[in-house]
Structure 1
Amino acid sequence: MMLAALTLVLAQAAAPAATVPSEDAIAEQVVEINRTLDKWKGGVYKKDDGKLTCRVEQSSGDQAVDLLRCGAMVGCYTPRVAELDAIAGADAPEADRRKQMQDIMDEVQPCIEDAHQLGVRRIATVRAAK
């Protein structure tokens, strides 16, 4: 459901605008959206059905931004679920498991940042065109 909503928001953001906004107008929106994005707090967790879902602890106050953050995290972590599960279930010292999980989180971070950058730009373009 969350991914479908994100897809809709991003599809709307990618739709051609009636007017082409200036780069300055887009840049202003990017700054505003990034400030809003900084307010968001949450993470991903695995549901009983084995799928990742987003947990919002503190909304950014902007539904498009919340969906962007959640979609990025779920999309980027989902391919690594099996690895994370294997680490969590391994018979290894907790410190070793924690380090291995942190290594995966560090590897996933560029994916999340790329998704944020693209999504913020799309949302900013639509908002600047209004």
Structure 2
Amino acid sequence: MAILNYTTTVDSFKTVSEIEYILMKHNAKSIMKNYDGGTITGLSFLIDTGLQQVPVRLPVKVDECLRVLKKEKRENPRKQIKDTMDQAERVAWRILKDWVEAQMALLDIEMVKFEEIFLPYIETGNGRTIYEQLEEQRFLLES
């Protein structure tokens, strides 16, 4: 199965700008990029719920994407799959942009709320996301 956007040539900085624009058009506040050296490693922003502003951190997992690209290249030698870190970064951000775009379409038709879309990525007081906290608890919900 082909990985979505595996042939993209769109620079990750351009894609991140597109994501920022999509979020801004949907009233996200204080959008911030996280960097490690010369690469963008994540995007953070605030959602205004009407009662408070809730922090959201969207990670992009480039190493994981690279691992999958390498596997795909091994399993499909005829395909022209680039398995470089730069390509993994482009692909990971492009897929995240497509996901954000699709989620905003659901928001536009009032099928979901902003908070509902980004619930796993909401940062709690200790700097971890709700997903990270639930994962640590093995997804066992308290009764």
**Is the TM-score greater than 0.5?**
no
Larger strand percent? 2
Larger helix percent? 1
Bigger RCO of structures 1 and 2 (CA < 8 A, at least 6 apart): 1
TM-score category of the 2 structures, normalised to the smaller one = 0.3 to 0.5
